Amino acid sequence: MEQVQRILMDVDTGVDDALAIIFAVKSKKLHIEGMTTVFGNVDVKQATENTLKVLDLAQPYYKIPVAMGADYPLFRPRREAVTAIHGINGLAGYELPATSRLPIDESAADFIVRVVNERVNDLTLVFTGRLTNLAIALAKDPSIAQKTKLVLMGGAIKVPGNTTPVAEANIHGDPEAAHRVFESGIPITMVGLDVTGKAKFSETHFHQLMTGITDEQAELKAFMDHIFTFSFEASDRLNEGKYRLMHDPLALAVVEDASLVQTEDYYVHIETKGPLSSGATLVDFRRPQLRSNASVCMQVRAEDFLQHYIHTVLS
């Protein structure tokens, strides 16, 4: 029997976080021990509401506690949400039905500390937003860095950023938090733009998905239809062609199946200063990497990943 991996997801539910949550719930190889929410694509209240509603949509057969987290970066103001990519409510303006699910009465950072200590070396943290909640958790209990591992969507090594010429959104949104996490000693797998920039869900993939969804999943179908159509129009407006980058789902898929990517071990420095350079994930390629703080995904079998995504959602 296949090994089921326990994960704790931290999300800023936006469009691709929603796609990642649906994938994780449907996956037979992942068990979500809990979810934490953070500001980013939207404010934390909206991210939490979106997360609870997307859970309703995905219909997990087990209980998933959701803990609300930070609404601001550690030391700087929050940037405006990018409504062109995620819509006014983070879900491309789609109104999911009201939910009876509620967040638990525990902060995201406290929840992370508790669950990591309950599941020592038996939990993977999967962060698909800013690293603020983890930085706070590490400040409360630095020992968690030795008791768990982290797979994060964020950063850009050999490709340009998507927020500034050199910075990716999740790192740029709270560079001080990212700096603390990368310097904490926690084992990191970084799923950044080097690979997520190649994970393009096209109209062909969309038709395959839509054709496969059964009538029993009418709500899921309507949601997918809306958010992919919105995403295709958004990318088309940017003169990039019609596709949706599957940033956050790829991070979850890498937890499930590390063979989808090739990694290289680097010491990743997080730049926290400078209007253009803040949030950059820098590797000093002038010298051999004598030490590392992250396994960085540099190559991806993109089509295999996209097919796996579709098959998991349809399963």
The distance of closest approach from Cβ of residue 93 to ligand BDR in the complex, given in angstroms and rounded to an integer, is 16
List b or e across 17-39, with b for residues whose CB sees 16 or more CB atoms inside 10 angstroms.
bbbbbbbbbbbeebebbbbbbbb
CA distance 267 to 295: 9
Which residues have a Cβ under 8 Å from the Cβ of 126 and sit 6 or more positions away? 7, 8, 9, 10, 24, 150, 151, 152, 251, 252, 255
Q: Which of 10, 17, 33, 110 binds Ca ion (CB under 5 A)?
A: 17
169 contact choice in Ca ion, ligand BDR, none (CB below 5 to 8 Å, kind-dependent): ligand BDR
Q: Which of 10, 33, 43, 168 binds ligand BDR (CB under 6 A)?
A: 168
The distance of closest approach from Cβ of residue 20 to ligand BDR in the complex, given in angstroms and rounded to an integer, is 8
Q: Which position has the token pair 């987290």?
A: 69
231 binds Ca ion (CB under 5 A): no
- Cβ atoms 170, 154 nearer than 8 A: yes
312 binds ligand BDR (CB under 6 A): no
| Closer Cβ to ligand BDR, 133 or 162, answer by number | 162
- Cβ atoms 28, 4 nearer than 8 A: yes
Name the amino acid, one letter, at 212: G
Binding mask 58-87 for ligand BDR (x = CB under 6 A): ------------------------------
128 binds Ca ion (CB under 5 A): yes
Residues facing 75 on adjacent strands = none
Q: Which position has the token pair 């982290």?
A: 150
Q: From start to end of 144-254, where are the E strands?
A: 149-153, 188-191, 200-202, 243-245
Q: Which of 7, 8, 10, 14 binds ligand BDR (CB under 6 A)?
A: 14
Q: How many residues does the chain have?
A: 315
128 binds ligand BDR (CB under 6 A): yes
Q: Looking only at residues 212 through 271 of this chain, which bind ligand BDR when binding is defined by CB under 6 A? A: 247-248
Strands 200-202, 124-127: parallel, antiparallel or unpaired by DSSP? unpaired
310 contact choice in Ca ion, ligand BDR, none (CB below 5 to 8 Å, kind-dependent): none
Token digits of residue 168: 């990716």
Binding mask 15-54 for ligand BDR (x = CB under 6 A): -xx-----------------------x-------------
DSSP symbols for 164-181: SSSB-HHHHT-HHHHHHH
* Active centre residues (catalytic): 12, 247
161 contact choice in ligand BDR, Ca ion, none (CB below 5 to 8 Å, kind-dependent): none
148 contact choice in Ca ion, ligand BDR, none (CB below 5 to 8 Å, kind-dependent): none
How many residues bind ligand BDR (CB under 6 A)? The answer is: 13
- State the residue number with the nearest CB to ligand BDR: 169
Instruction: List residues binding ligand BDR (CB under 6 A).
Output: 14, 16-17, 41, 128-129, 153, 162, 168-170, 247-248
Point out which residues bind Ca ion (CB under 5 A): 12, 17, 128-129, 248
